[in-house]
């Protein structure tokens, strides 16, 4: 619906992460390479829909990272109403080199600015890369933070932590103990997803070897208020085969009884075609039961399932495949939406593929559905609309009459080259507010990162089919930082462990290669582009 939301400049990598409000009228987009606060500082932006002007309007200023190399905006998550925003910055050094952090901001409608809620939520130790993934509850008072480099249960076992907002003390307090990975090098916490009420948590661990080397898995935990502890719900949900990287992306339904899990290197439809699977909780048997067949990628090397997003009731699913070649060219990427048909118990694609605009866009790197599944935000971190690899985000609305996805507004482009805007996106539940992360934006220093927020009025029915334009609206914004949700943590990309820990963020740099270890692509979105 409307035009692309392009990155602000070349190499922003806008669209790395995206998150929609419940009604699909608000969108958050990350651009982790944006330079607004310094080289590769990163940022996030939030957009809202103006139905009168038929345009996306930025809500407040860019939310820049605190310092150079923070890569803020790599992960973003909006509350259901779009008035609270969490931003991850896994390169932040507040608690040690690349310890990472997460910050939460609340919208002040009187002053039209984003105000930080509480202190930074820092990682526990150097190289934890905390904030690589973040997830807010519907009301914005509970926050899950992933730290895939944490060593609590062994080197890079990873962990997730959950924090609750104490309005009396105005501080974030940890709820229960750390949820550690099962074994060294599991990279648990690479993806996290909270239920609407914050009492159920899904955690992905892409390197877990329960079903074979790097098969990956997802685990679900429920909060026990009596014992004040997190209790695992059911068994591990393991990947199907070695090197699947299952759990690179996870998404829970609002009530926590439905779970989508992405595995970008699964070979069911061809080498590294990838897939997504959906599971339903059987409360009688106390087990997770797969709903329908695997949703496979269209072709080999698509890496489908690198990003996934469920609607609130779990009956609609968006799946990103950043290396799909079916549209305008090689690695243009795409997103697909599937609806659950209970009569024949199968997933049926809704509308056509939503392809990237050009070859090399990597569209589908991040996806975010509104609560009812009728609005979709898609990030494309290598789109060049705002400059080389500035990135962008686009929002689409479902036209039930013509049974097609219609773009809402213009592209939301990154600010500068290499911003990787769109590395993270998040829509509010109603889809009227959008947050966009750009973790390499330099507004707060080299790779500090930033976040921008845009607002929009509720969706109209039927969806307008006229071309729409995005408008940049300036307002006073609180200074802030962001980094990954995902995913990259929605990571659709393979990790290599060749760099020593002394090199900080490179201690487990991301690089794309085949599961056999042979280099097949030079892309490395986790590191700044070569100068």
pLDDT over 90, % of the chain: 62
pLDDT, tens digit (0-9, with 9 covering 90-100), for 16-31: 777 777 766 677 777 6
Q: Would you say residue 141 has pLDDT above 70?
A: yes
Task: Say what the pLDDT of residue 438 is.
Answer: 84
**For the chain, which residues make up each domain, given as ranges?**
2-184+302-508
Please state, in angstroms and rounded to a whole number, the distance separating the CA atoms of residues 277 and 515: 20
Q: Identify the pLDDT of residue 489.
A: 30
Q: Which string of b and e fits 178-206 if b means at least 16 CB within 10 Å?
A: bbbbbbebbbbbbbbbbbbebbbbbbbbb
Please tell me which residue, 213 or 42, carries the higher pLDDT value. Answer: 213
Per-residue pLDDT reduced to its tens digit, 315-373: 999 999 999 998 899 999 999 999 999 999 999 999 999 999 999 999 999 999 999 99
Weakest-pLDDT range from 3-17, 24-38, 332-346, 504-518: 504-518
pLDDT-based confidence at residue 2 (cuts at 50, 70, 90): low
Distance CA(222)–CA(382), nearest Å, equals 37
Tokens of 459: 């969706």
Q: Tell me: the pLDDT tens digits for 183-208? A: 999 999 999 999 999 999 999 999 99
> Which residue has tokens 């339904």?
253
Phi first, then psi: give them for residue 507, nearest 5 degrees: -60, -20
Based on its alpha-carbon atoms, the radius of gyration of the chain, rounded to whole angstroms, reads 19
* Span 31-48, average pLDDT: 73
Nearest residue to 333 via CA among 314, 310, 305: 305
- Please give the C-alpha separations between residue 247 and each of 106, 223, 378, 444, 447, in angstroms, as whole numbers: 30, 21, 20, 32, 27
pLDDT of 422 > 50? The answer is yes
18 or 283, greater pLDDT: 283
Confidence (pTM): 0.86
């Amino acid at each position: 619906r409307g035009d692309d939301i392009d990155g602000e400049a070349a190499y922003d990598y806008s669209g790395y992460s995206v998150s929609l409000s419940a009604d699909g009228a608000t969108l958050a987009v990350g651009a982790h390479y944006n330079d607004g606060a310094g080289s590769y500082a990163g940022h996030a932006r939030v957009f809202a829909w103006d139905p009168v002007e038929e345009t996306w309007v930025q809500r407040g200023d860019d939310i820049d990272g605190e310092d150079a190399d923070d890569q803020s905006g790599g992960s973003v998550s909006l509350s259901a109403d779009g008035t609270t925003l969490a931003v991850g910055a896994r390169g932040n050094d507040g608690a040690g080199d690349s310890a990472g952090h997460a910050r939460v901001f609340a919208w002040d409608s009187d002053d039209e600015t984003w105000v930080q809620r509480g202190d930074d939520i820092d990682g526990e130790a150097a190289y934890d890369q905390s904030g690589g993934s973040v997830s807010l509850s519907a009301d914005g008072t509970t926050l899950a933070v992933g730290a895939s480099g944490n060593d609590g249960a062994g080197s890079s076992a990873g962990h997730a932590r959950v924090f609750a907002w104490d309005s009396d003390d105005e501080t974030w307090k940890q709820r229960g103990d750390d949820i550690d990975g099962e074994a060294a090098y599991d990279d648990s916490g690479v993806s996290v997803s909270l239920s609407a009420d914050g009492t159920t948590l899904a955690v992905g661990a892409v390197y877990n070897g329960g079903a074979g080397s790097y098969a990956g898995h997802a685990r679900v935990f429920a909060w026990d208020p009596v014992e004040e502890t997190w209790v695992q719900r059911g068994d591990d949900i393991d990947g199907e085969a070695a090197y699947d990287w299952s759990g690179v992306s996870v998404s829970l339904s609002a009530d926590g009884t439905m779970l989508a899990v992405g595995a970008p290197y699964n070979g069911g439809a061809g080498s590294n075609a990838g897939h997504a699977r959906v599971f339903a909780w059987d409360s009688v048997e106390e087990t997770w039961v797969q709903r329908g067949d695997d949703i496979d990628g269209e072709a080999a090397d698509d890496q489908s399932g690198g990003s996934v997003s469920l609607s609130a009731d779990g009956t609609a699913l968006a799946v990103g495949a950043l290396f799909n070649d079916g549209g305008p060219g090689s690695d243009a990427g795409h997103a697909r939406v599937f609806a659950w048909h209970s009569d024949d118990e199968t997933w049926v694609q809704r509308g056509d593929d939503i392809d990237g605009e050009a070859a090399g866009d990597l569209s589908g790197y991040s996806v975010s559905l509104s609560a009812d599944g009728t609005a979709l935000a898609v990030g494309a971190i290598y789109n060049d609309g705002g400059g080389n690899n500035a990135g962008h985000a686009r929002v689409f609305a479902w036209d039930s009459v013509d049974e097609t996805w219609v773009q809402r507004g213009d592209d939301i482009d990154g600010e500068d080259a290499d911003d990787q805007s769109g590395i993270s996106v998040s829509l509010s539940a109603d889809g009227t507010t959008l947050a966009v992360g750009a973790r390499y934006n330099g507004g707060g220093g080299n790779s500090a990162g930033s976040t921008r927020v845009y607002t929009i009025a509720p969706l109209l029915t039927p969806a307008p089919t006229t071309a729409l334009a995005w408008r940049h609206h300036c307002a006073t914004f609180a200074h802030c930082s962001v980094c990954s949700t995902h995913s990259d943590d929605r990571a659709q990309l393979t990790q290599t462990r060749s760099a020593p820990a002394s090199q900080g963020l490179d201690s487990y740099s991301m690089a794309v290669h085949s599961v056999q270890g042979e280099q097949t692509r030079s892309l490395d979105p986790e590191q700044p582009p070569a100068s």
